[in-house]
Amino acid sequence: MRTDNPKSQTRNPKSRGWLRKYLALPQEHGSWPLFLVPCFVGAVVAGEWNGPLWAFLVGSLALFMARQPLGLFVRTRFGRRKAKDAHLALGWAVAYLVLAGVLLLPLLWMGRSGLLFLAVPAGALMLLYLGLLVRRKERAFWVEVLAVAGLGLGAPGAYYAATGRWAAIAGWLWVLVFLGGLEGVLSVQVRLQQREHAEPGQERVPLAWVTGYELLMLAIVGLLAATAWVPGLTWVPFLLLALRTAWYMIRPSPDVRISHIGIAQMGAMIAFGVLLVGVFAFSLR
């Protein structure tokens, strides 16, 4: 989900050497909550803050961070960035991947081999993303849907890393964070499409689709709550997300800045994660 300022991707003349933010840190504001919220939800619901969990969280963060320099390296190799950034981007990517390997691989010998079930789809999605960079298709809406699905794997991953066992709730946590994350992507799309000067190549999502998804999301969460697969109040944070998007649709803001959209989205998703965790904590009392 791109809510970054395109100018932030340009070279800063005051930057020197390998200490450049655009090389080492993901620049899309919206991607941070899509990664952090699932990991937070899975860890808190598991309720066990142990060594394997921390290794999983930090290792997953390293993989998440590796996406930025890997993407830059691919762009440089195919003429979409200046070639002089290639070796620096590759250096950052290798450093992140080595750190991830050091932290995650030992988990396989610590009774957490079930994480391999998540590694396969996560790796496939990363390769797909890099391939789409080559074809200049990374900004398509369906690519953002796949990104939400991939980053959402942090919820069941954190739950399993903490507990060492798979349970139905791990799968339902992925469903919940995927539904909430996708709602956030659509909410951002609504705001972006209201701007007077849309970004080049921005794919428009019909508002009827957004409305239909909001209703479908609430129906799915309501059904899960009614059948006791998730706590009965789980629908509350989802309803608040839907009301926010409805407000965006009713009150357009053509002058809103992209950076403001990103900051608002970060706040909304963090609040969503906190409320979701609160619902689960309340249900266990």
What's the pLDDT tens digit per position in 117-156? 999 998 888 888 888 777 777 677 778 888 899 999 999 9
Report d(CA 278, CA 174) in Å as an integer.
17
Helices 258-283 and 168-194, axial angle in degrees (round to 10): 150
Give the Å distances, CA to CA, from 185 to 77, 141, 205, 211, 258. 29, 9, 11, 13, 14
Structural domain spans, the chain? 20-283
Report d(CA 155, CA 41) in Å as an integer.
6
Tell me the whole-structure pTM to 2 decimals.
0.85
* pLDDT of 14: 47
Burial class (CB in 10 A: 0-12, 13-18, 19+), 86: middle
* pLDDT of 71: 83
Mean pLDDT in residue range 16-22: 63
Report d(CA 5, CA 127) in Å as an integer.
25
In percent, how much of the chain has pLDDT > 70?
85
What's the pLDDT tens digit per position in 62-113? 999 998 888 888 878 776 556 677 788 888 889 999 999 999 999 999 989 9
Is the pLDDT score of 15 beyond 90?
no
What's the pLDDT tens digit per position in 166-200? 999 999 999 999 999 999 999 988 988 887 655 55
